[in-house]
């Protein structure tokens, strides 16, 4: 059967199938090719103890930020590294204590290098500044990720092993009643870095799919002219 006798519905379906194949394979190549930036660390919330009804906490960005949503109707206060008030979630938005050391240390991945302004005083009354008008806010919290310049001892010993790095705890209060967001930081070996060849096959298949599509389109045009 040639292109002239091929039913248009089947011919069109073949074109769509080739196109979909090329698109589906393209993200796979990107995910494992030069654009991959995973560091192998994954942090997760395991529980809130005791539970605060209407408050939700998750980790976003692998191990980058802790995100809290407050729909409890209560005033939620997250404590900083010295037990001082750091964040406040209430009905009017989210506020950050400009006197908390955490406000400045959380701006950098490695907190030891953060410069603290003279206003910082964890024992003083909070000076609140609004940072969000809604019920949700995400912040970099050094209690949920690894901040050392070198890898944890377990990762140094066996970098190809999936392992627990540490358990973490972020304290807070809801209308004055204490609670803690608890979780774990884990490590799993990241996919092959740029320079590996695991992305070559998907790229090659995607390229062949595109060429096949172009060939089908050209054949279709010729058949229509000859008809």
Stated pTM of the model: 0.68
Give Cβ neighbours of residue 219 (< 8 Å, ≥ 6 apart): 3
Cβ distance 99 to 121 under 8 Å?
yes
Give Cβ neighbours of residue 96 (< 8 Å, ≥ 6 apart): 86, 87, 88, 103, 128, 129, 130, 131
Q: Tokens 């980790």 — which residue?
A: 59
pLDDT-derived band at 19, boundaries 50, 70, 90: very low
Collapsed DSSP state (helix, strand, coil) of residue 47: strand
Give 167-223 pLDDT, tens digit per residue.
999 999 999 999 999 999 999 998 776 555 544 445 444 554 555 555 556 655 666
Task: Lowest mean pLDDT of 63-67, 106-110, 202-206, name the range.
Answer: 202-206
Tell me the HSE value of 168 on the side-chain side, using a 13 A CA sphere. Answer: 21
pLDDT at residue 190, as a whole number: 82
Within 10 angstroms of residue 67's Cβ, the number of other Cβ atoms is: 16
């Amino acid at each position: 059967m040639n292109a002239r006798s091929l039913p248009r519905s089947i011919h069109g379906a073949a074109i769509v199938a080739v196109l979909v194949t090329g698109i589906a394979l393209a993200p796979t190549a990107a995910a494992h090719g030069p654009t991959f930036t995973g560091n192998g660390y994954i942090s997760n919330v395991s529980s809130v103890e005791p539970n605060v009804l209407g408050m939700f906490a998750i980790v976003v960005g692998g191990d980058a930020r802790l995100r809290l949503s407050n729909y409890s109707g209560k005033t939620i206060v997250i404590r900083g590294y010295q037990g001082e008030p750091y964040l406040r979630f209430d009905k009017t938005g989210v506020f950050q204590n400009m006197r908390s050391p955490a406000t400045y240390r959380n701006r950098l991945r490695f907190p030891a290098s953060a410069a603290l302004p003279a206003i910082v005083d964890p024992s003083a009354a909070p000076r609140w500044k609004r940072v969000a008008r809604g019920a949700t806010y995400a912040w970099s919290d050094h209690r949920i990720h690894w901040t050392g310049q070198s890898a944890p001892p377990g990762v140094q010993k066996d970098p190809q092993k999936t392992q627990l790095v540490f358990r973490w705890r972020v304290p807070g209060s809801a209308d004055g009643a204490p609670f803690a967001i608890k979780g774990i930081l884990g490590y799993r070996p990241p996919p092959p870095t740029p320079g590996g060849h695991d992305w070559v096959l998907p790229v090659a298949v995607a390229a062949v799919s595109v060429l096949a599509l172009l060939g089908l389109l050209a054949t279709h045009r010729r058949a229509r002219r000859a008809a």
